[in-house]
Structure 1
Amino acid sequence: MKFAAVLNRDGGTLRTTDLNAFSDRMHQTLEAAGHSLTIDVVAGRDVVETLDNAASRHAVDVVLAGGGDGTISAAAARLMGNKKALAILPAGTMNLFARGLGIPQSLDAALNSFADGEIIAVDMATANGRPFIHQFSIGMHARMVQLRQRMEFGSRLGKIGASAKAAWETINNPPAMNVTLGIGEAEMTARITAIGVTNNLFGEGHLPYADNPAGGVLGIYVTVAQQRTELMKFLFNIARGKWRDNEHVEIHQSDRTILKIHSGSRKFRAVMDGELVRLERETTIEIRPGALNVLVPARVAEAKAA
């Protein structure tokens, strides 16, 4: 296969990686397996343009994206509905989409898995037509991201610490929003502290990622918890992957949902794949089954085919 790699030198763990040495290992590993490879190492501000270029090249079979969540989401958006496949170098903080695909979590192990990897089709989702691979969320998560962005950190551990501090501040001053959520033929109106709509249902007992990235459904998670003890339990259960242990979380699934905001939407934001975006007064979220081709380890492809 012909690979076009785009590495965001400002993204995730790549900021502290010797990219010259790693690029040499990429060539050695993939070319020894009979593949060809071009590599562009670019600054964060140039990632989108470089991904556009890689995705438009007819000779390319696989776009290999390396960076944080924003880089991977941007690459997937450009390959949605495209015959070309996405290969993910997990260089972010949590690498949740990569985990759901069974991709090893170290850069070299992921690279080695691509040498004999296989292409499968998985789902994506859209919010008012904008693609995402992991989650669209409002309420607590958006507040935490807003608070974290005001803090300074220069490493993965620093980001985790900033996230913990932002979570504590959010618990002490949680957002509350009046919303209507349409799920299939049903409609519910509530005052919520958080809603997360995910690209397939999260698995249980681990970090929040989908066990089946080709399940064909949205996971819809709604919490109305407001008291500090309720919110602490909510976040603790999320960290342990114990969604169903929390009496303040309702879990639904559907192929389409419509979220309407009745509170003053100007002061609120949404988060898509870790990035803050404008929250529209009404958002239609839909699953896009099989919309993304991804390169996964051969053992993962074999297990899914069984």
Structure 2
Amino acid sequence: MSDLRTKAEHTAAIQRDRRVAVVVNTRSRRGRRHYFEVIEQLHESGYEPLAELSVYNPKRLRELLDTALATGPDLLIVGGGDGTLSSAVRHVAHRDVALGVLPLGTTNNFARSLGLPLDLSGAIRVFSTGKVADIDLGMADDRPFANLASFGVSVEVAGKVKPWLKRLLGRPAYPLTALTILPGHRPFRAFITVEGQRHELLTHQLNIANGRFHGGWQVARDISIDNGTLVAYQLGSGKKLRLLGETLIRATTGRWRSLAGGPFVVGREMLLETDPPMAADVDGEVRLRTPIRLRVVPNGVRVMVPDSFEDR
């Protein structure tokens, strides 16, 4: 990102010129309800957006992101869930534009990893009081991702969780849906090769994280979206009851050990093989199958974060 403005210059430009464009996914959990509130609060905060776009048809999301970027903003403000924000990350990666995040989804993993307020007013306030930071970008083969690649039960859960249940319950909709799938789910064997060392495990669920959160709960106390590494970890083992127990513990307490003490494999690049070959959920999109090579691109994306965010 050496051809870009410095982070300080970029922050100053956003706060001085207020050149922003806005895209809100009105199909997200809170997008439809809050779209006009988003626009109103931005105007009240002194912004006159170069574009104000709502996404009613998810198939047009990429087109509308391109339309917004064509106006030449310093800050692209995007409202939606993690899938929407992952698409936005791919659009702004390695470009001289920062991403402003409005967390309007169910789990809001990406926003949580950035330390953003989850309320609308607080998130908008960050655009005026925060700073530009460079965070890591994950790559699954040639597909960028912001937060997580997952394998196993969660891939089926993502395809079967009911939209009305997400709207009603929020985050608990995912573990509840998992309970209906787990009895018939078969474990798989995974092989993770990192720096020449091959790790083998039998599990129902494997995650490889770039961000700090999964399902709205923190993966580990000391994980970061800005430390230049990916973290692989399983939930449970090959035993369904153990997976169920760990899922319920996380859902009720959100507790995880540190990277040093937990069941984690950490590295800048990983080769994942599974038996049998499996589909991958990459930030909410199921398009890849194992074997997959995953790596991290340090400082691959510019985002607007609270001033308290530790930018390495």
TM-score, normalised via structure 1 length: 0.84
For residue 141 of structure 1, give the secondary structure of its aligned residue in structure 2. helix
Note if contact 2:22-2:49 (Cα within 8 Å) is conserved in structure 1. Answer: no
Note if contact 1:200-1:216 (Cα within 8 Å) is conserved in structure 2. Answer: no
Please, which moves more after superposition, 92-101 or 189-198?
A: 189-198
| 1:62 aligned to which of 75, 78, 86 | 75
Question: What displacement does 1:176 show?
Answer: 1.5
Note if contact 1:179-1:190 (Cα within 8 Å) is conserved in structure 2. Answer: yes
Question: What displacement does 1:160 show?
Answer: 4.1
Equivalent-residue separation in structure 1 for 2:307 and 2:247 (angstroms): 35
After TM superposition, list the pairs within 5 Å mapping 1:1-306 onto structure 2. Answer: 1=14, 2-17=19-34, 19-31=35-47, 37-43=50-56, 44-57=58-71, 59-148=72-161, 151=162, 153=164, 156-158=167-169, 160=171, 162-200=173-211, 207-208=218-219, 211-223=223-235, 225-239=237-251, 240-244=253-257, 250-263=263-276, 265=277, 268-275=278-285, 277-300=286-309, 304=311
Question: What displacement does 1:223 show?
Answer: 4.6
Note if contact 2:138-2:294 (Cα within 8 Å) is conserved in structure 1. Answer: yes
Post-superposition Cα deviations, 1:146-202, rounded to whole Å, max 9, x if no partner, equal: 332xx3516532454542331212332333123322111101334332211000566
Give 2:290's aligned amino acid.
R
Please, which moves more after superposition, 228-237 or 131-140?
A: 228-237
Note if contact 1:8-1:71 (Cα within 8 Å) is conserved in structure 2. Answer: yes
Is the alpha carbon distance of 1:288 and 1:56 closer, same or farther for their aligned partners in structure 2, counting shifts above 3 Å?
farther
For residue 167 of structure 1, give the secondary structure of its aligned residue in structure 2. helix
Give 1:189's aligned amino acid.
E
Is the alpha carbon distance of 1:172 and 1:132 closer, same or farther for their aligned partners in structure 2, counting shifts above 3 Å?
same
Question: What displacement does 1:285 show?
Answer: 0.4
Note if contact 1:201-1:219 (Cα within 8 Å) is conserved in structure 2. Answer: no
Is the alpha carbon distance of 1:60 and 1:144 closer, same or farther for their aligned partners in structure 2, counting shifts above 3 Å?
same
Question: What displacement does 1:256 show?
Answer: 0.4
Post-superposition Cα deviations, 1:124-158, rounded to whole Å, max 9, x if no partner, equal: 1010110111100101211222332xx35165324
Question: What displacement does 1:299 show?
Answer: 3.4
Is the alpha carbon distance of 1:102 and 1:191 closer, same or farther for their aligned partners in structure 2, counting shifts above 3 Å?
closer
What is the identity percentage for the equivalent residue pairs of Structure 1 and Structure 2? 25
Note if contact 1:201-1:218 (Cα within 8 Å) is conserved in structure 2. Answer: no
Is the alpha carbon distance of 1:304 and 1:225 closer, same or farther for their aligned partners in structure 2, counting shifts above 3 Å?
same
For residue 51 of structure 2, give the secondary structure of its aligned residue in structure 1. strand
How many residues in Structure 1 have an aligned counterpart in Structure 2? 288
Post-superposition Cα deviations, 1:69-128, rounded to whole Å, max 9, x if no partner, equal: 111000001111112110100001111111121111011211122122210101110101
Note if contact 1:260-1:283 (Cα within 8 Å) is conserved in structure 2. Answer: yes
Unpaired segments ≥5 residues, structure 1: none
Equivalent-residue separation in structure 2 for 1:251 and 1:11 (angstroms): 32
